[in-house]
């Protein structure tokens, strides 16, 4: 059996309230041996922490999502910092970034909190988990200003080969999820084929981004298996080789 690392899940999401324990119990038997549960708002931290406390194989990330930027305060930033300093299983700062698709917060406010959290990540030497949607121009400008000492990953990558190349040049890893299995994913597949296997990560972003052929159903961390198979095909390697590479990459990035 292969071993997979889901680097981006939201198991604390309410969509798992009815059967969370059963879903979690199904993961290790399916080969999903490590999961990072991503907390997008300091106010939700206790839910993610409870999962990481209860299950050895679940780790945590915390950061203020760009969707939350309009109500983010300095005390949220302090809370994120305190968690990352005090809790050994909090291995990443994220998800942070810019989302100009939904624009739930003014763009200048999103940029300010993105910048502040990148500074915090470098101060603490913690990898960042980047959520960037329809905002690559501003994102790359801000990342360039922080590139010294920055480590992290582009989550749910949706950029071009050119953007992927610049991210790789900055030392970032690039994570792909269920979108690589969607029809009309040609541009995404070009980028996924371009990224060397030593810099790829698997993720689900569950309960969202369910891979084909289960579109319309809730996703869970077992969704990484279909993503791994697709990336293996693109790179003309076995699924076992891709699972092993992405497992090693994730552990290297997150210091596990």
Rg (CA), the chain: 17
Residue 208 Cβ, how far from Ni ion at the closest point, in Å? 7
For Ni ion, the closer CB: 202 or 232 = 202
Residue 189 Cβ, how far from Ni ion at the closest point, in Å? 21
For Ni ion, the closer CB: 205 or 229 = 205
Q: Which stretch binds Ni ion (CB under 5 A): 112-120, 197-205, 210-218, 231-239?
A: 197-205
Which two three-digit tokens encode residue 209?
């981004």
Site size with Ni ion, rule: CB under 5 A: 1
Q: Sheet of 128-133: strands edge to edge?
A: 4-9, 32-39, 58-62, 90-99, 128-133, 152-155, 173-176, 200-202
For Ni ion, the closer CB: 153 or 205 = 205
Of how many residues is the chain composed?
256
Residue 155 Cβ, how far from Ni ion at the closest point, in Å? 6
**DSSP-assigned letters across all residues of 113-131:** HHHHHHHHHHHHT--EEEE
Residue 212 Cβ, how far from Ni ion at the closest point, in Å? 19
Q: Which residues from 113-172 bind Ni ion, rule CB under 5 A?
A: none
Q: Output the CA–CA distances (angstroms, integers) from residue 140 to 55, 77, 205, in the order listed.
A: 36, 22, 22
Q: Which residue is nearest to Ni ion (CB)?
A: 205
Q: Which stretch binds Ni ion (CB under 5 A): 41-49, 80-88, 115-123, 198-206?
A: 198-206
Q: Which stretch binds Ni ion (CB under 5 A): 78-86, 143-151, 202-210, 243-251?
A: 202-210
- Residue 220 CA to residue 210 CA, distance in Å, equals 8
Residue 238 Cβ, how far from Ni ion at the closest point, in Å? 28
Q: Output the CA–CA distances (angstroms, integers) from residue 219 to 61, 168, 181, 185, in the order listed.
A: 19, 28, 13, 19
For Ni ion, the closer CB: 37 or 205 = 205
For Ni ion, the closer CB: 24 or 177 = 177
- If one asks whether residue 205 binds Ni ion (CB under 5 A), the answer comes out as yes
Nearest to 64 by CA among 100, 32, 96, 110: 96
Q: Which stretch binds Ni ion (CB under 5 A): 173-181, 186-194, 201-209, 236-244?
A: 201-209
Which two three-digit tokens encode residue 247?
């497992």
Residues that bind Ni ion (CB under 5 A): 205
């Amino acid at each position: 059996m292969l071993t997979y690392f889901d680097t981006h899940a939201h198991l604390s999401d309410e969509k798992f309230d009815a059967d969370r324990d059963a879903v979690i119990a199904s993961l290790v038997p399916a080969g999903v041996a490590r999961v990072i549960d991503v907390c997008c708002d300091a106010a939700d931290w206790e839910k993610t922490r409870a999962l990481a406390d209860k299950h050895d194989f679940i780790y945590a990330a915390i950061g203020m999502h760009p969707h939350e930027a309009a109500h983010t305060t300095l005390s949220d930033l302090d809370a994120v910092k305190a968690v990352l300093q005090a809790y050994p299983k909090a291995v990443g700062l994220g998800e942070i970034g810019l989302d100009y698709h939904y624009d739930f917060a003014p763009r200048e406010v999103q940029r300010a909190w993105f910048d502040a959290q990148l500074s915090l990540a470098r101060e603490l030497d913690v990898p960042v988990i980047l959520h960037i949607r329809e905002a690559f121009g501003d994102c790359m400008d801000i990342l360039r200003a922080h590139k010294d000492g920055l480590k992290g990953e582009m989550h749910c990558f949706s950029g071009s080969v050119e953007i992927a190349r610049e991210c790789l040049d900055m030392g970032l890893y690039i994570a792909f999820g269920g979108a690589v299995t969607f029809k009309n994913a040609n541009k995404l597949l070009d980028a996924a084929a371009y990224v060397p296997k030593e810099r790829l990560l698997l993720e689900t972003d569950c309960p969202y981004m369910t891979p084909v052929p289960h579109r319309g159903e809730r996703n869970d961390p077992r969704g990484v298996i279909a993503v791994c198979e697709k990336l293996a095909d693109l790179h003309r390697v076995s699924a076992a080789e891709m699972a092993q590479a992405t497992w090693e990459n994730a552990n290297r990035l997150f210091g596990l």
